[in-house]
Amino acid sequence: MARIIDGSKISNEFNLAIRERVKDLKDSGVTPKLVTITLGENERSALFSAKRDELAKFTGIEVVNYNLDARTKLSELKKLVIPLNEDKSVHAIFMRTAQLKGLSLRDAVNLISPDKDVAGLTTLNQGRLFLGEPGMIPCAPLAVLHLLRIVHENLAGMHAVVLGRSSFVGRPLTQLLLNANCTVTSLHSYSKDLESVCRTADILVSAMGNPKFITRHFIKEGATVIDVGLNHLADQNDNSLTIGDVDFDDVFEVAGAITPVPNGVAPMTASYLMHNTLKLACCF
């Protein structure tokens, strides 16, 4: 049976360390400040925002929220973001898009100064990661790497398979693992023989958004399985359920270590949003 990688417990310990560093920074006269911009609010994004604000309060980070209509034009968004880029009291800017109408996500994100890009999603910061240069790194890949290092002291030489190639998780995580000297295989919806390739992995990370897609047949015995999937479904009574990409009960019997959903990668991702804010405040 697998070891359960308890992301909630690990993130709680991490949050305490962040809070201590924030306190030290405040004692020196600097209060880390995070500005969040949400385009197109919905129930799920509202819940995320509430949890994020609660964590910011716990760690001592100041948060200012802007909620904009999904139909906001780039020119209107620019009028908000550019002054924030120039405001020295603002250390980090986070843009969340619940939905977009007529607006390119890449154009929107690139309005943020790379030096305040807390989510590491601007083209410049993604390029820096690709080249192995210092820069801001997306929160979910950092969370995955943190959890992997709880299980494996040294990742060098391990074969990691990453399912999914988004700019939020899959692509940056692939590069992070390469930088950690893993051998990395990137799989996606057009890849063939998924099961057989996945069974060669020492580390399997799924970020596909496909509920319970990964079963025991994908898993090499003893492999570490990291489930980034957050699939929101409803049960027969219309109660909301959050399900991962991995069939946890099925894979649990085969894997060496596994993250649960929702108490695995998700809380660590939120912690890294605070960590990255603190990092930007220290370097400002």
Amino acid at 214: I
Amino acid at 33: K
Q: What percent of the chain has pLDDT over 90?
A: 83
101 & 193 share domain: no
153 & 53 share domain: no
pLDDT score, position 240: 76
Q: Which domain holds residue 51?
A: 29-113
pLDDT score, position 96: 87
180 & 76 share domain: no
Instruction: Assess whether pLDDT exceeds 80 at residue 132.
Output: yes
pTM of the predicted protein model: 0.94
Quickly count: other Cβ atoms within 10 Å of residue 38's Cβ.
20
- Residue-wise pLDDT for 135-185, tens only, equals 999 999 999 999 999 999 999 999 999 999 999 999 999 999 999 999 999
Q: 284 falls in which pLDDT band (50, 70, 90)?
A: very low
- Residue-wise pLDDT for 93-106, tens only, equals 999 886 667 778 88
160 & 219 share domain: yes
Pairing verdict, β 240-243 and 231-234: antiparallel
Q: What average pLDDT score do residues 250-265 get?
A: 97
pLDDT score, position 172: 96
* Euclidean distance between CA atoms 113 and 106, whole angstroms: 13
87 & 154 share domain: no
Question: Which CATH number covers residue 211?
Answer: 3.40.50.720
User: CA–CA distance from 98 to each of 84, 158, 219 (Å)?
Assistant: 21, 36, 33
* Lowest mean pLDDT, pick from 96-105, 207-216, 221-230: 96-105
Question: Which CATH number covers residue 70?
Answer: 3.40.50.10860
Assigned domain for 261 exists = yes
49 & 109 share domain: yes
Domains: count for the chain: 2
